Each structure stands twice: as structure tokens, then as C-alpha cells.
Chains A and B, each alone.
Chain A
């Protein structure tokens, strides 16, 4: 999957039999409030992992820690063998390997959809413009937005914007994709088109980590479910088992409210 020699070099310590993302004993405090209180789990390459839990339980913070948008206080996170909790961390090198999609899309409003997709590979990876353009057009087709290349974000619906955001992250050829409640701000009708796009990605073998409230979707595509509450993982397991008979009282209560 490594697209350039640079990522290959930093992946020297990582082999496909080891987890692509390895989270161990992670603590994160905002002032006096401890958002994450010792989170540990691994994600293997090609896995789809869904993290669910009540709001304020630290799910989004956990995703943000993985690409170093938020620094952690204790513990270790390794992405393809690179330690995130390290003062000498090359954040930019890490972020080239980790794509992220946000709840509020966060497209660049002064650029067209296609330019949004092309920007990072050209500016950050210094790739050839014509080559990037070709790839970006393919990605737009992949997220079923061919014909909308020249539209500005303001002219697109929420679901369309979110799919552009997915294409924009994919253009960097990441090893892992993080989805932070990507359908939470969408109309019910447009949720589906975004979920279909994510499912296609998962089926192609992309490693995905989702924070979501779409339980039905999680059950369908996840290889592993994690339930967080108060900054710790309360329960985990393959979705069939997880949804059929949750063991922990808090999981039961949460699923009872949602399902």
C-alpha cells in the first residue's frame, strides 16, 4: 500500500502481520477533565473498526489523537510502526498515512470540488499535477460525483460535500481512514449515499476507523465493535455477538436507548 519510498522507509519496523494501528494505555486530559483513561486496542490492516458510545465519552478525541491533532498525555499510539506519542514525531509524515473525515466536512470553500481533492497531493506530496488530476477525477467518479468537479462546496448538498471530503482524504493514499461522526450533520436521505461510499471503501480493503451513531451500518460493515464510556473501553467484540448479547450493563443501557 505504501505509495512512495518515503512511507516505505518509515514503515521499515512494521510488517503486515502486526497491527497497523496499535493503541496502548492512552490517557488524555483537558485541564482537570480526563477524557481518555487508559484505552487499549489494536487494528489490523484491512479491518473496519467502529467505536460507539455516549457523547462526551472520548470517541472523537481518540480519533484525533491517532493523527496527532490532539497530543496524548500518557501511553502509546503506533501507526504503521511510527510512535505518535513522541516529542520528535514528524507530524506531517504521520498525517500522510492517516486520512480523516470530519462531521462538518470542512471542505475548503474557495476551491472547487476537484481542486479540494487535488490540493494536498500537489502541495504536500509535490506530485505531478496532471497525474494528480487524473487520479482526482477517478476518485470523484468513485464517490459518484462525476459531473460535480467544478462545483464549489457551497453549491453542493451536505452528502455531496461529505463525499468530496472522503475523496480528498483518499487522494493522499492513506493507510488508515478515520471517520468522525461523518453522517451526524446530514439529512436522513443523504446519509445513505455517504454510507454506501464508506462501505465500498471497506470492501476494497481500506483500514477504517469509524466513530458513529449509525448502529445498523456498524453492524453491517464492522469487523470489530468498541463501546466507550467515561474514557475507557467498556465492551468490545465482533458485531454479531456485540449486538446480540451485550454483557456490560452500560452497553445494554446504551443499545437499549438507541436500537
Chain B
């Protein structure tokens, strides 16, 4: 039996090529050495979460029905457009924050490898300061530090809360991008610098033409990871009163003032984030495998 299996499948290290029995056996032994079962999320796990949310909602619906009020699902359905709109606002904040953070962070990261010691030290301090600060505190800092409007040559430029929150969130993104850029540049073999130098490229040309283009591949997976983290952190803006999905949910819940709605509503918000962030995480993982640095 065993011999026949081996003849059929040959010897392989790739689990997918093994017969199902063998595959399960390997997985079991791996889990025994780990001590805990390995959790590998599949797309259908999202469906499970959805089911739990719906069940909770249905249970609450049944209770609500007894009191002759509109059911939970009906209540949720009524508010879905508003909540989705709020979620889209979160996405918008994450896009903008990522854009600003990436632009500033790239400059800061390049400054970290400058040949001028003051530039290098200054950018290093800024990077470390914002990288090791709690995001929420930075957010509060931006909220209360920045004015609510600017006066430029007689014009009044309003500076709404959500813009301040976006700037607040882009600060830690900037610091993390700065580290990603510095790490990627330093991971390029020194031979590339030498070759470029010996061809009379200036330092600036070397960086722009030769080093940074090679860094993009290496930076993409950590950068996408950072984006997923930022997206999940956008709900922090609710603390400072920006009308994003969490704020809206809280408002809706207090308007409805029905405790049984709490779980399904927050469950719905969780589901929205999961559906958005999980594919990013999967895609990042795939890229990491593809761009794994070969030595």
C-alpha cells in the first residue's frame, strides 16, 4: 500500500503533490511539534463570520419580534447604506493617508542614507520618534495642534477634522515607509553601487536610476502590509469625531437605543473590514513568496 503510493506519487517535498492521507499525516505531525493547530484562513472562513453575524442578528430578530418592534435584520438593512458610506470614507482616509505618508516617508528614507551626517541624524530621529509613538496620541496631537482653518492671502482655507485626522495617521505611515525605504536600499548589494560609480554615475543618478527601481519589488510587500494596518487604524478617527464608519455606527446605535443591536452592528463593521483587508493580506503573502530574496 505504502510502496504503491510512493510509486504513484514519487518522493516530493511539496504537500500538494502528496496523497491526501499522507498530507493529513504530515500536517498532524507538524501541528504536534507546534503544540497548536495551525490556522490557515480560507475565503470560506469569511462566510463563517458572516453566518455568525447573521445568526446573532436572527436571534435578536426573534427577540425583537416578540416586542413588536422592527426586527434586527430590518434595522440593519435600513442602516447599511449609511454604514457602507461611512466605510468608504474610511477607505478614502486610508488612501489619502497612505499617499501622504508614502511621499513624505520616501523622502525621509532617502535622507536616512544621505552622506551628510546632520541630514542622516535628523531624519533618523524623526523616523524613530514617529515610529515609536502610539498612533492615537499622534492623532490627538494633530487634532489639537493644527488650526481649523488657514488664512492664505485673504482667503480662508478650511481645515476640517477629517483632514487633520488623515495627517495625524500619515505621520506613523511616513515613519514606517522611511524605514522600509532605508532597509530596501541597504539590502541592495554594494556591487551595484560600485558598478554605477565606476561608470561615472553621480550619487543622485545612482539612487534614482539604479538603486530605487530595484527596491520597489522588495518594498511592495511590507508597504501593502502597512496599508492594511493603516486601513484598520482609520477607525481611530472616530475618537476625535470624524464621521467614519465607527462614529456612524455609534450614532445609529444611540438613535435606535436597542441593546440587542450592538452585536450585529459591530459584527457588520468587522465584516466590512475583514472583506477589505483579508484579500490584501493574501495578496501580500503571495508577493512575498514571489519576491523572496534569492541568495
Contact = CB atoms under 8 A, between A and B. Distances in A.
Interface stretch (B9-17, B79-87, B195-203, B283-291): B195-203
Contact of B195 (A93, A108, A124, A172): A108
B199 A95 contact: yes
A93 B198 CA distance: 11
Residue picked from B194, B196, B198, B201, most chain A C-beta under 10 Å:
B198
B190 to A, nearest CB: 9
Interface stretch (B111-119, B175-183, B209-217): B209-217
B202 A98 contact: no
Per DSSP, chain B at the interface is helix
A69 B209 contact: no
Per DSSP, chain A at the interface is mixed
A100 interface: yes
Contacts of B200: 91-93, 95-96, 120, 124, 172
B209 A106 contact: no
Interface residues of B, number: 17
A245 interface: no
A172 B201 CA distance: 11
B205 interface: yes
Contact of A102 (B194, B202, B209): B194
Contacts of B128: none
Given A95-B200, A98-B198, A110 B213 contact: yes
Contact of B214 (A106, A109, A119, A168): A109
Given A106-B191, A106-B192, A99 B201 contact: no
Contacts of B195: 102, 106-108, 165
Given A91-B197, A172-B199, 12 more contacts: A67-B198, A98-B198, A102-B191, A106-B192, A108-B192, A108-B195, A110-B213, A119-B209, A123-B201, A123-B209, A124-B201, A169-B199
Interface of A: 67, 69, 91-93, 95-96, 98-100, 102, 104, 106-110, 119-120, 123-124, 165, 168-169, 172
